[in-house]
């Protein structure tokens, strides 16, 4: 194992499946002028920035896969935060809060400069995310098990015993590769307990909402970012009480903000990006490791030329 990402192989497989479907459609449309063709392609990849910085993934290899597999010279490879933003706001300017297992806020200004806040992973960030809420809930359960009182919850202790088993929770998670997934799953129990009025769970939900609102306000406050917000991700979609708390914090500080429902998913955002490559390529600036754009397939040994430059600045 060399630690390299398997993303190129995964995307190659998806492209091959797509081409099989397109070949079938072309066979049907052979006698007409309506046979489908791929003019541009875009991918939003989770963890792209971290893998690029760690040397585990070269985005240019993904450009090669898209170009060779799909027969197109206009390709974009981005972090999934960018495609989540484009999908949630339909390509409009503003800020988007993405909350699931992790949490990140992303915004774009009038000059196509992107800004990110949080998204730092469960060890040092992702405040208010599913993983964070699950961890705080498990802490409250363990306090009740130990007989501690500050922030303890016997309701969450019973829930944790159902979710994790009756062992001393936390110790056994250290060596489990699915620890974060388990914690994010436990967030559902914490939020259900908060809805039922468990004091410790209510406090966790309140702290999560305040942290998420702070993350969203951070990117919203950059000059040139339109006062427009949306949320996306399973936690925001499935827990309206949490979303309402977040938005109340945001509008208290920024009464001018327009709150919109998400119009699409990250997959829709990838489609927005691909359409921009086709229709307005000059409006899709490239900046590795957040967004890499290639217009034209270079000859072997040549350095790919990218369409302009931009900056994505951490909030």
Cα dihedral: 140, 217, 87, 305 (round 10): -120
What domains are defined for the chain?
Answer: 7-90+264-314 (no CATH), 130-259 (3.30.420.40)
**pLDDT, position 313:** 40
CA distance 123 to 281: 38
Confirm if 210 and 78 have CB atoms less than 8 A apart.
no
Tokens of 177: 């590769």
What's the average pLDDT block by block, 10 residues per block, for the chain (315 residues)?
74 86 72 68 84 79 87 88 94 95 93 88 90 96 93 95 78 78 94 97 98 97 95 93 97 96 93 90 76 68 35 39
Looking at residue 56, its pLDDT comes to: 83
Supply 86's token pair: 């484009």
Kindly calculate the radius of gyration of the chain based on its CA atoms and give it in whole angstroms: 22
Q: CA-to-CA distance for 82 and 162, rounded, in angstroms?
A: 37
DSSP-derived 3-state class of residue 115:
strand
Alpha-carbon distance 264 to 258, whole Å? 17
* DSSP one-letter string for 283-312: G---BTTTEEEEESPPPTTPPPP-S----E
Contact 78, 267 (CB under 8 A): no
DSSP secondary structure code for residue 313 in this structure: E
Query: Strand, helix or coil at 310?
Result: coil
Between the alpha carbon of residue 97 and those of residues 14, 107, 154, the distances in Å are 28, 9, 32
According to DSSP, the residues that pair with 99 across neighbouring strands are: 103
Q: Which of 81, 56, 43, 44 is nearest to 314 (CA)?
A: 81
C-alpha 274/C-alpha 268 separation (Å) is: 10
d(CA 193, CA 184): 15
CB 216 within 8 A of CB 229: yes
Tokens standing for 129?
């995310």
pLDDT of residue 240: 94
Contact 62, 45 (CB under 8 A): yes
pLDDT at 2: 55
Cβ distance 39 to 278 under 8 Å?
A: yes
Residue whose token pair is 């919203």:
220
SS3 content of the chain, % helix, strand, coil (to 5): 50, 15, 40
DSSP 107: E
Closest CA to 83 of 288, 235, 300, 272: 272
């Amino acid at each position: 194992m060399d630690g390299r990402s398997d993303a190129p192989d995964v995307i190659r497989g998806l492209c091959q499946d797509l081409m099989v479907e397109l070949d079938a459609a072309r066979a049907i449309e052979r006698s007409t002028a309506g046979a489908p063709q791929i003019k541009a392609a875009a991918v939003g990849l989770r963890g792209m920035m971290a893998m690029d910085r760690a040397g585990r993934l070269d985005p240019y290899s993904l450009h090669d896969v898209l170009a060779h597999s799909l027969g197109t010279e206009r390709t974009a490879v981005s972090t999934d935060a960018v495609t989540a933003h484009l999908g949630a706001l339909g390509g409009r300017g503003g800020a988007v809060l993405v909350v699931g297992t992790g949490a990140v806020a992303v915004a774009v200004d009038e000059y196509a400069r992107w800004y990110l806040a949080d998204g730092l992973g469960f060890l040092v960030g992702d405040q208010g995310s599913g993983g964070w809420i699950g961890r705080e809930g498990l802490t409250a359960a363990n306090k009740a098990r130990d007989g501690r009182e500050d922030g303890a919850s016997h309701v969450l202790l019973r829930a944790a015993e159902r979710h994790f088993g009756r062992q001393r929770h936390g110790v056994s998670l250290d060596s489990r590769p699915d620890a974060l997934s388990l914690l994010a799953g436990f967030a559902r129990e914490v939020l259900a307990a908060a809805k039922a009025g468990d004091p410790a769970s209510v406090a966790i939900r309140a702290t999560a909402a305040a942290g998420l609102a702070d993350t969203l306000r951070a990117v919203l406050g950059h000059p040139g970012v339109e006062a427009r917000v949306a949320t996306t991700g399973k936690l925001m979609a499935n827990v309206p009480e949490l979303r309402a708390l977040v938005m109340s914090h945001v509008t208290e500080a920024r009464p001018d903000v327009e709150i919109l429902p998400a119009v699409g998913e990250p997959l829709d955002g990838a489609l927005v990006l691909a359409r921009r490559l086709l229709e307005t390529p000059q409006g899709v600036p490239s900046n590795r490791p957040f967004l890499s754009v290639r217009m034209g397939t270079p000859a072997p040994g040549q350095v790919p030329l990218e369409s302009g430059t931009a900056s994505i600045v951490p909030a």
